[in-house]
Chain A
């Protein structure tokens, strides 16, 4: 996996160089960090969806959970009168419960994760909308007027430069990396993804571990939802409605095997940043219309995975090794 991480790093550096060359303004911290909020949920959530996908699962409801946690923060604060930080904690707990339910169904009833989270993406988006109608504010407007401390949180810049979201992302990456690659828990996740039967014969509680990955991805979605709410100063039920597919893109681009058992947090983090930089650099440096951005992201995904699929073919491996031989002689 290490080689793929390096490839991604090279792609990222190339990408930044090209953008910087096209428009030097691109490298100014104020600019580069300016649009961080558009990509931060993708970056954070994809880290933990990586774990879900390594167990050979999938989570396509994370986007809906982002909206759900955002509106829960708003409603519990405005209509229930909770302290804003307590409200955030409530949102995280509810998101964890949502993950628990999903994980329970997937792990203990062996329902296909794609179907459960597909249903979940309807259910939690719908619940978010319903909760927003409970509020005294009309739902399309969103709930705003949060306390200064909350609104300032996401706009706070450490040393006046580094946005707090970037720090959150880095911390989350470190946590996810440690969990997945350095702990026994992470080892179990990999083993389950490779061969769940064999993991059970090794005495691993596979169901519990699988369930827990969905809880983690739920919590990550809630954290993103709270960060977004804080940055926008508005709680809305449809935040995150469009991020499901970019999340999966980032995880896959990061080198995670759809069939489970293989993947890397560093890879996912790099891939998420590559997608983020692309989405932000193209409009800035090449005046690409924001609305067209699905095309380059889609193409990037198609080209990278096609190239990877091709390079794994035996005939291509033989071809490459022949080339190497020729070069030597």
Chain B
């Protein structure tokens, strides 16, 4: 059991995160305060949601590059409502509807029309981003109510924000549903073996549509938290976040070919992604190193992982071949003794 936990990719990702923190602490012991470590988690709240949402889609073997734009449009819609004195309820409902709508469109395009997901979500990416401009008229959405923006600074205990605590609990809950319910299993089954899923009576089309809607809704909730934390919305808000969300999933051990990985992994990946910026400060490096280091970590981890995996596949194939010959010797002996 323990061995299983250790061997799980998300455990490795978590170990990597700890190692990263440890290394920084060695270089600069100032880092090792509750505040900086916990803030690494607090900062990741938006990406955690985005990555976990994307993870659903990636688990089914597809991809969603529209989440950054969907985050942008839902944030813009919600921010405008709040600025104009609308209630929190309206804002949240509208944002989630927008997210669900784009998710539904993506789901239909990919699952029903069977269009390659990268292409289709690329299209919705463009449309959603353009709509942010249309909706905001190209201007910033500012002057949001203070209660809304200050909510992001309310702490549950110590340095842990309510936001991160809630998101974490939520992610754990959703992970539980994913791994312990029939519907949850469907997502992984569809990504693991599409035809196989069909044969055991799972409706892959429906499952993929669900995955996209979930991804859209998670992106819109991420948009709400984003607005609350930043306090304003620009037409470019959330731009290129989709790439970071995908990177977080990959770092967290989710296979882009589907069927392998957990939401917890995605959440850990998101923390790794976002803590790099904070860590750089403690290492005395400028934030200019941010992308370089992210890129290197991503490539190195994936390359090493793939090499190990491929070696194991070749090794096991060869072992099976050798075993067959060994069996022959065994039979000879038996027959000889007869």
Task: Determine whether B286 belongs to the interface, using a CB cutoff of 8 Å to chain A.
Answer: yes
Q: Interface readout for B290-320 with A: 1 if CB under 8 Å, 0 if not?
A: 1111111011001100110010000000000
Tell me if A112 and B125 are in contact (CB < 8 A). no
Task: Determine whether B18 belongs to the interface, using a CB cutoff of 8 Å to chain A.
Answer: no
Q: Interface readout for A9-39 with B: 1 if CB under 8 Å, 0 if not?
A: 0000000000000000000000000000000
Q: List the B residue with the shortest CB-CB distance to A303.
A: B123
Tell me if B299 and A309 are in contact (CB < 8 A). no
Tell me if B299 and A126 are in contact (CB < 8 A). no
Tell me if B127 and A302 are in contact (CB < 8 A). yes
Specify the main secondary structure of chain B where it touches its partner.
Answer: helix
Q: Interface readout for B54-90 with A: 1 if CB under 8 Å, 0 if not?
A: 0000000001010000000000000000000000000
Give Cα distance in the complex from A140 to B286, angstroms: 15
Task: Determine whether A285 belongs to the interface, using a CB cutoff of 8 Å to chain B.
Answer: no
8 Å CB contact of B115 from A109, A294, A306 = A306
Tell me if B114 and A309 are in contact (CB < 8 A). yes
Give Cα distance in the complex from A126 to B114, angstroms: 35
Give Cα distance in the complex from A72 to B126, angstroms: 30
Tell me if A126 and B293 are in contact (CB < 8 A). yes
Tell me if B126 and A292 are in contact (CB < 8 A). no
> Looking at chain B, what size class is its interface with the partner chain?
35 or more
Q: Interface readout for A287-319 with B: 1 if CB under 8 Å, 0 if not?
A: 001011111111101100110011000000000
8 Å CB contact of B127 from A60, A258, A294 = A294
Task: Known A245-B125, A295-B134, A298-B130; judge A123-B119 contact (CB<8 A).
Answer: no
Task: Determine whether A105 belongs to the interface, using a CB cutoff of 8 Å to chain B.
Answer: yes
Tell me if A295 and B109 are in contact (CB < 8 A). no
Give Cα distance in the complex from A129 to B120, angstroms: 31
Give Cα distance in the complex from A114 to B307, angstroms: 16
Task: Known A289-B138, A298-B124, A305-B120; judge A110-B306 contact (CB<8 A).
Answer: yes
How many A residues, CB 8 Å from partner?
46
Tell me if B133 and A289 are in contact (CB < 8 A). yes
Give Cα distance in the complex from A308 to B115, angstroms: 9
Task: Determine whether B269 belongs to the interface, using a CB cutoff of 8 Å to chain A.
Answer: no
Contacts of A121 in B (CB 8 A): 243, 295
Task: Determine whether A133 belongs to the interface, using a CB cutoff of 8 Å to chain B.
Answer: yes
Task: Known A126-B294, A130-B289, A305-B115; judge A112-B123 contact (CB<8 A).
Answer: no
Task: Known A126-B295, A130-B292, A295-B131; judge A301-B286 contact (CB<8 A).
Answer: no
Q: List 25 A-B contacts (CB under 8 A).
A: A105-B299, A109-B310, A111-B303, A115-B250, A115-B298, A116-B302, A116-B303, A119-B296, A122-B295, A123-B294, A123-B296, A123-B298, A125-B295, A127-B292, A129-B291, A130-B289, A245-B65, A245-B126, A249-B123, A252-B116, A289-B133, A292-B130, A299-B123, A301-B122, A302-B120
B residues contacting A by CB (< 8 A) are 63, 65, 109, 113-116, 118-120, 122-131, 133-134, 138, 235, 243, 246-247, 250, 256-257, 286, 288-296, 298-299, 302-303, 306-307, 310
A residues contacting B by CB (< 8 A) are 58, 60, 105, 109-112, 114-116, 118-127, 129-130, 133, 139, 245, 248-249, 252, 258-259, 289, 291-299, 301-302, 305-306, 309-310
